[in-house]
Structure 1
Amino acid sequence: MAQSEADELLNLGLEHYKQSQFRAALRYWQQALTLYREIGDSLEDRLAARQGEGNTLNHLGKAYHCLSEYQKVIDSHQQSLRIAQEISDRVIEGDALIGLGKAYDSLGDYQKAIDSHQQSLRIAQEIGDSLGDSLASRIMAGNALNGLGKAYYCLDEYQKAIDYHQQSLEIFQEISDSLGDSFDSRQGKSDALNNLGNTYQSLGNYAKAIECHQQSLAIRRAIGDRLAVGISLNNLGNVYYSQKDYHKAIEYYQQSLGIAREIGDRSGEGCYLGNLGSAYKFLGDYHKAIDYHQQSLRIKQEIEINDRRGEGISLHNLGSAYFSLGDYSRAIDYQQQSLAIAREIGDRLGEWLSLNDLGKVFLKTNQLVDAEEKLRAALEICETLRSSLVNSDHQVSLFETHKTTYRLLQQVLVVQENYEIALEIAEQGRTRIFAELLRERSSKPDEVMEIANQGSAATSKRAVQIAQEQNATIVEYSIVEDDIYCWVISPTGNITFRRANLTPLQAQNKTLTDLDDIILKARVSIGVDERDKNGKKIQCESNEIIDAYGRYPLLQLLYQILISPIADLLPPDPHTPLIIIPNYGLFLVPFSALQDAKNRYFIEHHTLLTAPSIEILELTHQRQQSLSRVNQSALVVGEPTIDAQFTQPPYNLKPIPAAKEAAEAIATLLQTQAITGEMATKARILNQMKTASLIHISAHGLLEDFHESGIPGTIILAPDNTDNGALNAAEILSLTLNAEFVVLSACSTGKGEITGDGIIGLSRCFILAGVPSLIVSLWDMGAYSAKRVMIEFYQNLAQGDDKATALRQAILKAKEYFSCPADWAAFTLIGETAPLSLGTPIPEPRRRTMVFPSESTPQEIRDAFFNLLETSNLFSKHLPSLEQLIAQSTDTPQDIAQRIEQWCESRPTIQANMANKLSQMGAGGTDSQPDADIAAEFNQRLEKNRIRLGSPPASSMNQTEK
């Protein structure tokens, strides 16, 4: 009777626990515990009662954990552990160890947590070995792996954390697949997803983090786990906080705080208060931030056994808030307290945060020696954390998270006028993982390791050596908090430091934070289609587009910022190579098209190429020297058939006009056969890439990461029976190529995720696969202009030009024919510029008249016409004749398009530029407005541009007025 009553109380407690009613659960379990302890009628009854007692103590421990009463957690699980060992109940013993591990984790004693979870995992494996994979042993193993992952996450060993959480997730998924969803399996799955989300956030992989947290939240809501729902909401807030969306973060934190207070979750309440404080700090409400942080700190100090890690975080946050208020003495005091706790509990990430912020305070107060000391200590932690990660993409993400330390240390060194040492730190901050992976894949690792062993301390000497060997000038940019640093290394060995000219920004009431938007708008001003973070098309103001004199205001603004301060240091001879090493958003700057005050383009005076870093420049040079040149075959791919998946939304890809013709022309020049259409399958192209010495691909490029490899970038090849033809960047990375040179003449093959060392994506993967030199496109340049540039480029190579010179001459030639920079400035050379042997001289190709693509819609023709009108100076000689295009109110869209086409036919240069612009347009739209409205809108826009370019108002504009 007592046994069944105790069992019923135990189950009642479980029901309340699942609903996050922890105090009620405690009452039922305490009553059950009393009854179990009173049972003793027989040996068999007593054994069952002892099992019930052990189980109940474990459940009590879980409830006390949810209430942050950690000493009671430990007492309960230790009592359960003794009972389990006494009666040899391995399941209860394993569960007790998991509970102890979680308690130690919450208290910051991560080694004890790991020991407990490892013991539990061994027990689960032993149960499975002796009894088969029982449900209890599998759940225990999944929970133990989750606990290990969380402990290693807190120790900043992110690779181990990911491995353990993924193993746990697989176990719980297998349980659900084979036995159906239970509360335990769903809870375990949600915990694994939650912990994976936290780890991905720490690595800076925010999209993956949000995906994991949303999946976890959905499960937790479905099972009614209120405590866990609050945690998931908080963690989603953390991701949005990391993305600087503070208002959205606050929404999630407030929801979490409400739940924590409803269910009496004191630990969660302290955490969520602190997070609200951090969000309000970044919104500039420092007093509210301090109030929240002080509430958070009090709770963490009041919890039965102090939450040392949480206390350290609160102290750090208070220091950060006081720094923002300008109270530097308090900021230092709180950060030093936080640092002491982080070191005491082995919290390396917390130690980095405190050291980084102490360096920031000391820099602000001009205590430069102390600032340098703290920031160098923080960098040592960054290197230690990075080296513990196996996955290179996780290493890149971690480097991006820690980039502020590299920037702060550069600032400290520049203030001290230690410019060359600052250059070394700038190089070190350019994601060293890229260089290390390149070393690993080198065919001469000894030579490459000699470079590696020199370390960043030899950066300036190596830069001078490269400049001298290649007779090149190197310009390295580094973006710091509110400045852009420039180092110019000349062939004579001089290293000169300059700052970018931010005065033009300040004159427009803008700051460095606006630079990325300016870069994108500069690209839009020359006709490139760019979207904001919400997918909305970016538009330029009327004063930001080309004027009647051929001046591009934003290209000139970027020239003033980036080039003017160093113009006197650049080589006067236009044939001397100029190697530009950008940083972050500067990788998207079309340097070739930047304009000086006299409307002259940068490419007119300099032979340009780019590199991710000085270190990579040297390593690609080593690769160039080590290549085998036995096989001189060329692989040319053009206009592969597009799988139906990519012709539908959201991709809407369509055949690139003239791409097949261009590929065949280039193949003829290279004395090979182009692979086009349905023959250009991924399997075939991958196979031929392995042996080709030159690879030229003209196809669509996307930024998607279809294989979820962490590396964005995909080339769309032809499908076959096995796949859709999407060649992912990660697949390229897995290759070992012997190609000396690659050309990616596709849509935006030069774009990807922007990081410190450059763009992660296709270009990076080809270099890592062994290619020392490649040309990529920063946007879709149009098939006709791309063909002209490439044919000219290969002809120049055949005449003995090096790659940079050949590309410059080809661009200048195309510029004579195509007025708009969007039609010639997209191609950029990355890496080595050494000449390329192409065998016999290449014949001059037959020129063809460029006509409008037959599939162009009326809307596309109008869009291309206005794009060209607003981004080039082609129309300055034809302004009077533009009146011929004025639409009548009765005109259809087809009439307007036909009139534009006929008008262009008598003007071959404009016709060619229009044909090329139409080849860039992508998926075309269809007209949905009434014909009269389309005609009126066309006339208004036409007249606006005519007046902008200096023409008097048209006399017949009233024809379409209503």
Structure 2
Amino acid sequence: MLGDVRTRQKRFAEAIALYDQARTESSDRFRPLVDASLANALILSGDLTRARSTLDALAVPSDPSQQAQLQRTRGRLLLAENKPAEALVLYQQLANAPVNGDEGFYRAWALDGISKSESALGNEAQAAQALDQAIDVFDKARAKFRSDEFKMGLFSDLQVVFERAIGMHTRLGQPAKAFDVSERSRARALLDAVAGRAEIGNGEAVALDAATLQTMLRPDEVVVAYHALPDRLMAWVLSNEGVREATLPVAVKRADLARLVDAYRDALINLKPATDVGDKIGTLLLAPLEIPAGKRIIIVPHGPLHYLPFQALRLDGQYLIERNPISIAPSISIAAKLAERTPTVAAQLVAFGNPTINPDVADPLPGAEREVHELSKQFPGATLFFKDQANKSNFTASAPKARLLHVAAHAVADTLDPLHSKVLLADENGQPNYLEAKDVLGMDLSGTAMIALSACESGLGRVEDGDEVLGFTRSFLSAGTSTLLASLWPVSDAATETLMTTLYDDLAKGEQVQDAMRDAQRAVLANPETAHPFFWAPFNLIGNWRLTVQK
């Protein structure tokens, strides 16, 4: 086990030492697995001579799964030895020899090996076809498991396969297939949860392909999907006319992209001049897309881009939110399913404001209380909870019945353990009783069309491999809500009051939520005292961008 960990960490010398130790302690039954793992670490370290001698010395194990594991390792060694034709034959044999109880994983990894062999032989089309087949097998195997943790772990391991497939289809000039692979790779555990809540088909989550999504988009809507590969950033533009790849001017590595996003967010949070940097990032990420002003944009970020405030990027001498209505989606398949499920909602509001908590923990929020009073004026009969009543017990009882749910409170993001991120609702019986992201996962909010978390950093969490954004975003969407408003940094009390009251005024008039959000952000931007993006750009509109409130 420790050897596997060190191998994943690319600490091969330590891994080899641990495997050597394990060989002396393993039973005859499990020693072949240790030897296969040792050979794999030797291959990755470049010691092909010892890897070959280790494998050649092994007897054929009696267990079929161990035989398959050993064959896979032999294939890796043949590829490392620059013998792709021999590797291809071995992988083909493995792909055609199913192993009972393996849920298709050995066949999938064999197809991956076939792809690598074909690619080494210069057969890119055949390599891409084999990789697509591998992804299909992985997908079918994944669907058999119920644990979100297992699914996320599996797709984390498979990201390198998806990345290779995206690269191959891009080189072959197949943007629609590259887009489809990217969409299949992201937020699959969340997609499962959304499909289950939406009662779509039999509850089985299926990522929608470009051709299907194209028919679902309106003429004024454009999807922009990014995928951060290790060595470059990919971008596609999808409309009702089709999908095209956008060529970015610079090949930005994923690690450099993460630093760029962090630097821009830090500049905004610290109220540093943002215009020049916003122009430069806009030139890099937006200009190549060639999207006309006025088009509705649904942005599907990837990796570090989940924490980039796209609304604060600049294009054509103005902020993107001045030019286009925008929203964010963890995957366009998820957003499209949410939009189909909840196109309209009744004007029924439940709101929580200025919870009473220990002053040693956080200060009161009188602006949050005013915010809730003001926005509720547009919704007669709204159910409001303030101070002591703005507590978790009332939230748990009232939230599932709400159509529109607004929470104006303090929040604390836990990036190490995102399910413990919390909204600081009122103390109960003299003790803290906060709402944590893990609590939300257990709720049924399928009747709640929109939730606005008017709080600091409510949209933060952690982005896992497989592009699962853990935290309140995933929790509320998994629980069934269609549209979510969440923030990327600490928010200004006064500016947020203006933003939220404008948003709800527009919603009460029947405006589409994407337009209402745009108007709200521009209302704060229009005030010279709050024109810096720190004040108006922290909130993202996530999920169903088409939601309207019935007048």
TM-score normalised by structure 1 residue count: 0.51
Matches within 5 A, 1:918-937: none
Counterpart of 2:539 in structure 1 is 827
1:294 pairs with one of 33, 48, 52: 52
Shift of 1:615: 2.3
Shift of 1:747: 2.7
Q: Say which structure, 1 or 2, has more relative contact order (CA 8 Å, 6+ apart).
A: 2
Shift of 1:762: 1.9
Q: Secondary structure at the match of 2:262?
A: helix
Judging by fraction of residues, say which structure has more helix.
1
Q: Report whether the alignment pairs 1:497 with 2:255.
A: no
Question: Quick one: structure 1 residues 335 and 791, their matched pair in 2 at CA, closer, same or farther if it must change by over 3 Å?
Answer: same
CA distance in 1, matches of 2:491, 2:27: 58
Q: Secondary structure at the match of 2:201?
A: helix
Counterpart of 1:856 in structure 2 is none
Counterpart of 2:333 in structure 1 is 615
Q: C-alpha offsets along residues 510-557 of structure 1, whole Å, 9 cap, x if unaligned?
A: x3443223222222232279xxxxxxxxxxxxxxx748xx412xx445
| Residues 488 and 497 in structure 1, CA contact (< 8 A), matched pair in contact too | yes
1:551 pairs with one of 269, 276, 280: 276
Residue identity in the other structure for 1:635: V
Aligned-residue identity in percent: 19
Q: C-alpha offsets along residues 346-400 of structure 1, whole Å, 9 cap, x if unaligned?
A: 5843332232133134235431343234223312321232122122343233233
1:636 pairs with one of 351, 365, 369: 351
Q: Report whether the alignment pairs 1:775 with 2:485.
A: yes
Counterpart of 1:352 in structure 2 is 108
2:234 pairs with one of 485, 489, 512: 485
Counterpart of 1:682 in structure 2 is 392
Q: Report whether the alignment pairs 1:527 with 2:248.
A: no
Question: Quick one: structure 1 residues 698 and 360, their matched pair in 2 at CA, closer, same or farther if it must change by over 3 Å?
Answer: farther
Counterpart of 2:530 in structure 1 is 818
Shift of 1:329: 4.1
Shift of 1:619: 1.6
1:746 pairs with one of 447, 455, 458: 455
Matches within 5 A, 1:130-529: 235-242=1-8, 245-247=9-11, 250-251=13-14, 254-255=17-18, 257-258=20-21, 260-261=23-24, 274-275=36-37, 278-279=40-41, 285-286=45-46, 288=47, 290-301=48-59, 309-310=65-66, 312-317=68-73, 319-320=75-76, 323=79, 328-329=84-85, 331-332=87-88, 335-336=91-92, 339=95, 343=99, 348-442=104-198, 445=199, 448-449=200-201, 459-468=209-218, 471-480=220-229, 482-490=231-239, 493-501=240-248, 503=250, 505=252, 511-527=253-269
| Residues 485 and 541 in structure 2, CA contact (< 8 A), matched pair in contact too | yes
Q: Report whether the alignment pairs 1:792 with 2:502.
A: yes
Question: Quick one: structure 1 residues 826 and 268, their matched pair in 2 at CA, closer, same or farther if it must change by over 3 Å?
Answer: same
Shift of 1:609: 0.8
Question: Quick one: structure 1 residues 767 and 381, their matched pair in 2 at CA, closer, same or farther if it must change by over 3 Å?
Answer: same
Shift of 1:829: 0.9
CA distance in 1, matches of 2:546, 2:421: 27
CA distance in 2, matches of 1:804, 1:775: 11
CA distance in 2, matches of 1:699, 1:395: 33
Matches within 5 A, 1:658-673: 658=366, 660-666=368-374, 668-670=376-378, 672=382
Q: Secondary structure at the match of 2:248?
A: coil
Moved more, 332-341 or 602-611: 332-341
Gaps in structure 1 of 5+ consecutive residues: 1-234, 506-510, 530-544, 648-652, 840-962
Q: Report whether the alignment pairs 1:577 with 2:302.
A: no
| Residues 344 and 550 in structure 2, CA contact (< 8 A), matched pair in contact too | no
Q: C-alpha offsets along residues 629-655 of structure 1, whole Å, 9 cap, x if unaligned?
A: 3xx4322223434469xx7xxxxx533
Matches within 5 A, 1:853-932: none
Residue identity in the other structure for 1:518: L
Q: Secondary structure at the match of 2:342?
A: helix
Question: Quick one: structure 1 residues 501 and 833, their matched pair in 2 at CA, closer, same or farther if it must change by over 3 Å?
Answer: closer
Q: Report whether the alignment pairs 1:735 with 2:443.
A: yes
CA distance in 2, matches of 1:320, 1:837: 57
| Residues 359 and 370 in structure 1, CA contact (< 8 A), matched pair in contact too | yes
CA distance in 2, matches of 1:373, 1:748: 43
Shift of 1:743: 0.4
Judging by fraction of residues, say which structure has more strand.
2
CA distance in 2, matches of 1:807, 1:376: 39
Q: C-alpha offsets along residues 697-742 of structure 1, whole Å, 9 cap, x if unaligned?
A: 1233344599x9x956433322324974232334323333322221
2:474 pairs with one of 760, 764, 767: 764
Q: C-alpha offsets along residues 861-889 of structure 1, whole Å, 9 cap, x if unaligned?
A: xxxxxxxxxxxxxxxxxxxxxxxxxxxxx
Q: C-alpha offsets along residues 903-945 of structure 1, whole Å, 9 cap, x if unaligned?
A: xxxxxxxxxxxxxxxxxxxxxxxxxxxxxxxxxxxxxxxxxxx
1:587 pairs with one of 273, 294, 306: 306
Q: Secondary structure at the match of 2:326?
A: strand
Shift of 1:687: 0.8
Shift of 1:828: 1.0
Residue identity in the other structure for 1:734: G
Q: C-alpha offsets along residues 243-290 of structure 1, whole Å, 9 cap, x if unaligned?
A: xx223x7536524533644x58677776556545545655xx42x2x2
Shift of 1:322: 5.7
| Residues 195 and 203 in structure 2, CA contact (< 8 A), matched pair in contact too | no
Q: C-alpha offsets along residues 403-430 of structure 1, whole Å, 9 cap, x if unaligned?
A: 3333333333333333323333333333
TM-score normalised by structure 2 residue count: 0.84
Q: Secondary structure at the match of 2:542?
A: strand
Counterpart of 1:605 in structure 2 is 323
Question: Quick one: structure 1 residues 269 and 414, their matched pair in 2 at CA, closer, same or farther if it must change by over 3 Å?
Answer: same
| Residues 746 and 777 in structure 1, CA contact (< 8 A), matched pair in contact too | yes
CA distance in 1, matches of 2:122, 2:50: 30
Q: CA RMSD in A?
A: 3.8
Q: C-alpha offsets along residues 223-244 of structure 1, whole Å, 9 cap, x if unaligned?
A: xxxxxxxxxxxx13423543xx
Residue identity in the other structure for 2:329: A
Counterpart of 1:698 in structure 2 is 408
CA distance in 1, matches of 2:114, 2:412: 42
Q: Based on CA coordinates, which of the two structures has the bigger radius of gyration?
A: 1
Question: Quick one: structure 1 residues 634 and 462, their matched pair in 2 at CA, closer, same or farther if it must change by over 3 Å?
Answer: same
Q: Report whether the alignment pairs 1:809 with 2:530.
A: no
CA distance in 2, matches of 1:361, 1:560: 39
Q: Secondary structure at the match of 1:720?
A: coil
Question: Quick one: structure 1 residues 307 and 832, their matched pair in 2 at CA, closer, same or farther if it must change by over 3 Å?
Answer: closer
Residue identity in the other structure for 2:10: Y
Residue identity in the other structure for 2:304: G
Q: Secondary structure at the match of 2:209?
A: helix
Gaps in structure 2 of 5+ consecutive residues: none
Shift of 1:479: 3.8
Residue identity in the other structure for 2:299: I
Question: Quick one: structure 1 residues 427 and 835, their matched pair in 2 at CA, closer, same or farther if it must change by over 3 Å?
Answer: closer
CA distance in 1, matches of 2:26, 2:163: 42
CA distance in 2, matches of 1:782, 1:571: 32
